[in-house]
Amino acid sequence: MDMFHWVGAPKWALLVLLVTLATSTLILAYLALLRAERPILTYSRTGGIAGIRESLTVYTSGRVLVQGRIIGSKELLLGDDRMRAIGLLLKELAPLGKLELGARPGAVDFFSYSIISEEHGLELSWVDPWASEGPVPFQLEAANALMSELISEARGEEFKLRVSGSDGEVSIQAEPEGLIMGTRDRMRVNITIEGVDLKLNASLLRVSGNCVSAEILNEEVSGRRIAATALVSSTCVRGS
């Protein structure tokens, strides 16, 4: 039997060949990427009343694998801004090294968390702050917020972060519209302060570092309660 050749072959046959070659190239490129990538962070959370068990692994390629009893297995692909946020988080976690915070006696229905990063020498395990035997470092709460946002995205759910604090007399709660700001981006933050007799101004929103500035857009004062919206701007140059 003669070998099949393209002389006089219909145009659709050539199209099928081109599509097949293109698809094969994409598959090979993707497989090469998977072989080249490596995990940089693995996060897990378990427990709670419902007995949740979820894990999340971030790879150098930006791929995120989320797995859980309910969610099954989902993948995300992170852009530059969120990969930069992961890198900053790992730098913040680095001083903690190997840390284990268990639950205080009598605590029940709490969540247990862990972060492992061989590349950065991290072995961290802790529980919800209210159930912890000791203070939970702020870096771990920041890690929980970022990881929870990624898990919520994989579930197709909206994630809302609320940050609050109190000194006994004055309490403050802030709700940012997101967690990650890209270079030169701006983000709205809703703020509620209770127990004060003053007007809000931008000096109350100073944060550590010189990469963020804040501007008060509006405020409503009712007795000793202030509700305001601030516009927070990222002022860092790209790559810093």
Q: Which of 2-16, 30-44, 140-154 has the lowest mean pLDDT?
A: 2-16
Q: What integer is the mean pLDDT of 149-171?
A: 75
Q: What integer is the mean pLDDT of 67-86?
A: 87
Examine the pLDDT at 45 and tell me if it is beyond 80.
Answer: yes
Q: What integer is the mean pLDDT of 128-148?
A: 88
- For 88, the enclosing helix (H) or strand (E) is helix 80-93
Contact 99, 134 (CB under 8 A): no
pLDDT tens-digit readout, 18-32 = 777 777 776 666 666
Q: Which long-range contacts (CB under 8 A, 24 or more apart) does 13-21 make?
A: none
pLDDT tens-digit readout, 89-121 = 898 899 999 999 999 999 988 999 999 999 889
Q: Which two tokens stand for residue 122?
A: 């991290």
Confidence (pLDDT) at 48: 83
SS3 per-residue string spanning 171-183: EEEEEECCCCCCC
- For 45, the enclosing helix (H) or strand (E) is strand 39-47
Q: Which two tokens stand for residue 112?
A: 């247990």
pLDDT tens-digit readout, 164-212 = 666 667 777 777 776 655 555 677 777 777 876 666 655 555 544 455 6
In the chain, the amino acid numbered 148 is: S
* 22-47 per-residue burial string, b: 16 or more CB within 10 A, e: under 16: eeeeeeeeeeeeeeeeeebbbbbbeb
Contacts of 187 (CB under 8 A, 6+ apart): 176, 177, 178, 181, 231, 232
If we measure between CA atoms, which residue out of 157, 37, 50, 178 comes closest to residue 111?
Answer: 50
Q: Which domains does the chain have, with CATH numbers?
A: 36-155 (3.30.1560), 163-234 (no CATH)
